[in-house]
Structure 1
Amino acid sequence: MLIEVIDDAARRHGDRPAVSDRQTTLTYRELIRSSAVWADTLAGLLPGGDRGRIGIRAGNGVAYVVAYLAALRCGAVPFLIDRVSGVQETAAIREDCGLDLLVHDSPAPGWGTPRGELGTLTVTGAPSAGRAALDPQTEVCRFTSGSTGRPHCIEFRGQAVHRAAVNWATGTGLDADDSIACFASLSNGLAFNTSLLSAFLVGARLHLPNGLPSGSAVGRAVAACAATRLVGFPALYDSLVRRPVTDGSFGRLRMAISSAAPLDPGTKHRFVEATGVPLRNYFGAAEAGPLTFATDPLTDLGLGGPLPGVLLRAGTRANPGPVEVRSESMGTRYLNAPGLLESRMTDDGYYRTGDRGYLADGSLFLSGRSHRVINVGGRKIDATEVVEALRAAAGVRDAVVLQVLDRHGVPALAAVLAADDSLDPSGPRRFLADRLAPYKIPSLVRVVPEIPRGSAGKPAMAALEGLFAVDRTDG
């Protein structure tokens, strides 16, 4: 149903600009024509049999959107893969999901000889032997992010994708006068749910800047497309507040949106103070779509109330509890992990998000992640609590807390701090000693210029764990 919904929107919006990047702008009419041409190319490369499965692993841009629509148009299922996925991770996705083709803009070792081109994108692939059947109504597949294991492939019915877009547009007031500057990867829910189909439904313009989101680059992109909405991960806003916003780039901007990782309150305050633009850190889940939105972030200090089509339940301020959700945009299942998504559902159809929090005055407040609980020596430690304390220490810009093995092979609490290399790690540890129980103070600390993160803004845990490898091997 998705391509029918998109075609209907295109007929209504015709010659309005639909999508652009630094090099190209397509109207709605041109977008549909281009996707039809590319759909013919893809159809000729797909093997016969059941529905084709096309992985898309590319950076944001007009070509990405055209390839996505082309995959839908030729009757295939697009699998949206994070562009920063490594060789092993991409190979695991191919094996787990039985992909036929990969559309990509960077090398794809192990995929064989390129079989075609779609503009600036390359099409590579060979059919996989044996694969799990898709749900008959699946139209799009996306992947969970932030895990060091094999990504879970979430199947989405077309109706779920459509309802996510409709409910986001309705709940946030998105309309045809909006222009969205989106710096988040389209493979991630932050962009997929807030900036792709939702923009097309109402006739808005979607602008997809390329390159690193430095403060100056963001300003130029916002000005170039006269953006009314800015979408990006927390790191984008951290970059923006490091430079004065004085060039008038943000004159038409009415809303900034962040998600996927915690947004530092100091960053939020400085951004709003500098631009006058409300910055909203909405709550969503990969498996359930966008869930909350703060209509007035000046008075709503939480993550907002439920969007249309969403039901929430959680604990109380005095007793935070598991956050559970029902939405019209729920995923159907994990293609490569049968039964796992179903096991995370309650008997009455709510998805257990893994977050803990509470509802107050109609708004959701998060207090931590249940799976972020670290067990060291029989002591349970909420990593979120320790991270928040470390971020308040002098000289610390950012922090991640994790469990590693020390040089004796014993589990230990560790921290990676983003700070200048002159920072003495004993300072933050002394700071924690006055605030937290002794067992919550990391025994191993590394200082880095910036926390390594994936394209979704979440910490790259494998890289962080590697910083402590010396402690595991040093006799």
Structure 2
Amino acid sequence: MDSLAEGRYAAAEQVRAPMGHGVMYAGFQAVAREWPDATAVIGPDGTAATYAKLLEAVEDAAGKLTAELAPGEVLGLAVADPFAFVAVYLAAAKLNVVTVLLDSKLSAEELAYSTGKFDLTKLALDGTGPGLFALAPAGSDAVRPESDYADDDFVVHCTSGSTGRPKGIVMSQAAIEARVRLWAGEMELTPADRVLCALPLWHCHGIDVLTLPALLTGATVVFADGSRLTGRGLGRCVESHEVTVMSGLPVMYQMLTEARGIPASALRSLRLAISGSAPLAPYTQKSFKQRYGLPLRQVYGLSEIAVICFDRQYVGNGSIGKPVTGVEYLLDPVPTEDAAETVYELSVRGPALARGYYRDADATAEMFDEGWLRTRDLIRADPDGWYVLGRHSAFINVAGNKVGPLEVEAALRECPGVRESAVVGVPDARTTEHIAAVLVTDERFDLDAVRRRLGERLRSYQLPQRYLRAPALPRTPLGKTDYAAVRRLVDSEERDAK
């Protein structure tokens, strides 16, 4: 790995997952047999199911898959109901059926794209009659595609597609089992825990970070529809189900800190609150702790390897903490205009690493290098904790100065009247690019005051030249800021101004 040879290296403890097909099912089966009467899941409607009932559903789903899938067929899992989703997922794990996790809300066009891209032959959909789910042909039965999946491939995670067409991240059961076990250890999960999952199960955060770690340790998963939750609804969900662990996007915690009518005691059952999948504003982190008396810890990772860093010791102030057990890392110095600041590009590896992207050799070569994952994220590695400055490709070039959008966004969110912010670069003939900021504001907003505050916090070349106000930031289905849509918003405003 010559391109990274000059980076600083640290090796974490090596944790090897057991090899072989069906390891995820076997782990769940062992837990279900040990605690059959314990509550495994609680659905969004409050319906509870024991481990014995969930295991029975898994066996039924496995029977259906065995009867209706031919050897070598590829399953697209597009089920909205969380109980059914988990049952089909674990059934596919038992049979080692290659399974592509899909958003159940995909349009017909997006579903057709995924069918062709990932060589799907069958789709698991929400059942309309008796039974947990229905199987339907994916595309035409006349031609069954020849897939390029390896013998030990199991799950394909689709990237969120916020900046383009989604890619398929291919993983073995051993890699999934490793990430689940390692993360369950970091959270110190026990059968006494109740874990809130208000994120979609087709995404790594929902299935690998929340649901599977809970189910493989005998804990209870409390499912909620995050797209419909208000701050008060989220607080009531935690209180009524006595949730002990929750992890979600920063917007969830922003809702909790801003909502009225939630007493601090509503979250008293929580022992661990985690924010991930998007940058956490220090302001939200501070406000949450002030209101509820519980540290809000940030986790950082990529779907290609799951959790990389966790602020377990609570450095706060936007820190992602340090690498977790089972992750080796390389810090490759990156030249910057500011000689006083050392910035690194981060690469990682470990037993939880995916093998690459399905039928995308160029993207695989760009991110995967001789067993390492090049995150393309730039890191400031302070002794107490690390900080993500932004994605290498997302940096804005202002007259030769590289500006990290995340740093500018964080400074904007510290300004009175700015509730949310998104920053993008706009082509500029004089300076290569200039900075545009899209803001969601409240009645306290004053642009002159924002400019003065930023002038105290940022360097001159980091200051936005354009400000746009919007009622809300565009978001992906997962809830992340959709920067492609933000850029279109800026471009549209620029055209209207001409």
Shorter-normalised TM-score: what interval? Answer: 0.7 to 0.9
Between stretches 453-462 and 294-303, larger displacement belongs to 294-303
C-alpha contact (below 8 Å) 2:439/2:468 kept by paired residues: yes
- Aligned match of 2:197: 182
Matching residue of 1:108: none
What is the SS of the residue equivalent to 2:113?
helix
In the alignment, which residue of structure 1 is the partner of 2:159? 144
Is 2:265–2:292's contact at 8 Å kept on the other side of the alignment?
Answer: no
- 1:281 is displaced (CA, Å) by 0.8
Determine helix, strand or coil for the equivalent of 2:294: coil
Q: How many residues align?
A: 462
Counterpart contact for 2:93–2:173, Cα < 8 Å: no
Are residues 1:7 and 2:22 paired? no
The answer to which of 80-89 and 269-278 deviates more is 80-89
Distance 1:188 1:383 in 2: 24
Report the equivalent of 1:217: 233
1:33 aligns with 2:49: no
Mapped partners of 2:314, 2:202: distance in 1: 27
| Correspondent of 1:69 among 81, 90, 95 | 90
1:292 aligned to 2:303? no
Structure 1 residues 229 and 90, CA, compared in 2 at 3 Å: closer, same or farther?
same
Match of 1:321 in 2: 344
| 2:253 counterpart of 1:237 | yes
The residue that corresponds to 2:242 in the other structure is 226
CA distance in 1, matches of 2:330, 2:355: 21
Identity within the alignment, %: 28
Instruction: Tell me the distance in 2 between the aligned counterparts of 1:412 and 1:188.
Output: 34
> How far 1:131 moved relative to its partner?
4.4
Q: CA deviation at 1:30?
A: 0.9
C-alpha offsets along residues 20-74 of structure 1, whole Å, 9 cap, x if unaligned?
113322211111111222233344443x341x22222344622221232233344
CA distance in 2, matches of 1:318, 1:441: 19
Aligned to 1:331: 354
Indicate the residue corresponding to 2:180 in structure 1: 165
Deviation at 1:430, TM superposition (A): 5.8
Query: Kindly tell me: are residues 83 and 390 of structure 1, through their superposed partners in 2, closer, same or farther at Cα, counting changes over 3 Å?
Result: farther
Measured in 2, the distance between the counterparts of 1:305 and 1:427 equals: 35
| Other-structure match for 2:102 | 81
Q: Does the 8 Å contact 1:182/1:208 carry over to 2?
A: yes
Question: In 2 relative to 1, CA 265–103 (structure 1 residues): closer, same or farther, beyond 3 Å?
Answer: same
How far does the alpha carbon of each residue in 1:342-401 deviate from its partner, in whole angstroms, 9 at most, with x for none? 442345x33211111143436333233212112467664322232223223332111111
- Counterpart residue identity of residue 245, structure 2: R
Asked if the contact 2:93–2:154 (Cα under 8 Å) also holds between the matched residues in 1, the reply is yes
Report the equivalent of 1:420.
442
For the aligned residue pairs, the C-alpha RMSD in angstroms reads 3.1
What is the DSSP-based 3-state SS (H/G/I as helix, E as strand, rest coil) of the residue aligned with 2:283? helix
Flag structure 1 segments of 5+ consecutive residues without an equivalent: 106-113
CA distance in 2, matches of 1:210, 1:122: 24
Structure 1: distance between partners of 2:26 and 2:75 = 19
Matched, 1:403 2:416: no
More divergent stretch after superposition (217-226 vs 124-133) = 124-133
> How much does 1:452 deviate?
2.0
Q: Give the SS at the match of 1:155.
A: strand
| One-letter code aligned to 1:97 | F
Distance in 2 (CA, whole Å) between partners of 1:43 and 1:176 is: 32
**Match 2:132 to one of 113, 119, 143:** 119
Alpha carbons 1:333, 1:339 under 8 Å: kept: no
Q: Given the superposition, is the C-alpha separation of residues 271 and 385 from structure 1 closer, same or farther in structure 2, using an over 3 Å criterion?
A: closer
Task: Indicate if the aligned counterparts of 1:420 and 1:448 stay in contact, CA closer than 8 A.
Answer: no
Counterpart residue type for residue 197 of structure 1: L
Q: After superposition, what is the alpha-carbon deviation per residue over 1:74-128, rounded to whole angstroms, capped at 9, x for unaligned?
A: 44222112455444433322211011223345xxxxxxxx998753777563356
Shift of 1:147: 3.0
The answer as to whether partners of 1:415 and 1:444 remain within 8 angstroms in 2 is yes
Q: What TM-score, normalized to structure 2?
A: 0.83
Asked whether 1:134 is paired with 2:149, we answer yes
Tell me the residue number matched to 1:90: 111
List aligned pairs for 1:352-431, cutoff 5 A.
352-361=374-383, 363-375=385-397, 380-404=402-426, 413-420=435-442, 423=445, 428-429=450-451, 431=453
1:111 corresponds in structure 2 to none
Q: Paired residue for 2:300?
A: 283
Q: In 2 relative to 1, CA 131–364 (structure 1 residues): closer, same or farther, beyond 3 Å? A: farther
For 1:404 and 1:472, locate their aligned partners in 2 and report how far apart those are by CA, in whole Å. 13
Q: Indicate the SS of the match to 2:246.
A: strand
2:288 is aligned with 1:271: yes
- 2:274 corresponds to: 257
Residue in 1 that maps onto 2:11:
none
CA deviations over 1:237-260 (Å, ceiling 9, x no partner): 000011253173322210111101
Deviation at 1:288, TM superposition (A): 1.1
Verify the 8 A CA contact 1:115 1:124 in the aligned structure 2. no
Conserved in 1, the CA contact under 8 Å of 2:300 and 2:309? Answer: yes
One-letter code of the match for 1:34?
A
Describe the shift of the 1:149–1:298 C-alpha distance in structure 2 as closer, same or farther (beyond 3 A): closer
How much has 1:423 moved relative to structure 2?
4.8
Residues 166-199 of structure 1 deviation map (CA, whole Å, 9 limit, x = unaligned): 1111222111111101112222222222222211
**CA, structure 1 residues 300+178, in 2 after alignment: closer, same or farther (shift >3 Å)?**
farther
Q: Secondary structure at the match of 2:403?
A: strand
Q: Does the CA contact (< 8 Å) of 1:11 and 1:29 recur in 2?
A: yes
Contact 1:315–1:358, Cα closer than 8 Å, also in 2: no
1:307 match: 324
1:31 touches 1:66 (CA, 8 Å); kept in 2? Answer: yes
Change (3 A) 1:282 1:422: closer
Q: 1:305 to 1:247 in 2, by over 3 A?
A: closer
Describe the shift of the 1:435–1:4 C-alpha distance in structure 2 as closer, same or farther (beyond 3 A). Answer: closer
Q: Aligned partners of 2:444, 2:385: CA distance in 1, in Å?
A: 41
1:93 alignment partner AA: S
Please give the secondary structure, in 1, of the residue aligned with 2:288.
helix
Tell me the distance in 2 between the aligned counterparts of 1:241 and 1:90: 37
- Cα 1:53–1:427, aligned 2, differ >3 Å: closer, same or farther? farther
In structure 2, list runs of 5 or more residues that go unmatched: 1-21, 334-339
Name the SS of the counterpart of 1:314 in structure 2.
Answer: strand
Q: Could you say which residue in structure 2 is the equivalent of 1:110? A: none
Shift of the 264–467 alpha-carbon distance from structure 1 to 2, 3 Å rule, reads same
Deviations 1:210-237 (A, max 9, x none): 3522112112221232211012111110
* d(CA) in 2 for partners of 1:299, 1:398: 19
Structure 1, 182-191 or 161-170: larger mean CA deviation: 182-191
Query: Structure 1 pair 208/389, CA: closer, same or farther in 2 (3 Å)?
Result: same
2:474 counterpart of 1:452: yes
Pairing partner for 1:246 from 263, 285, 290: 263
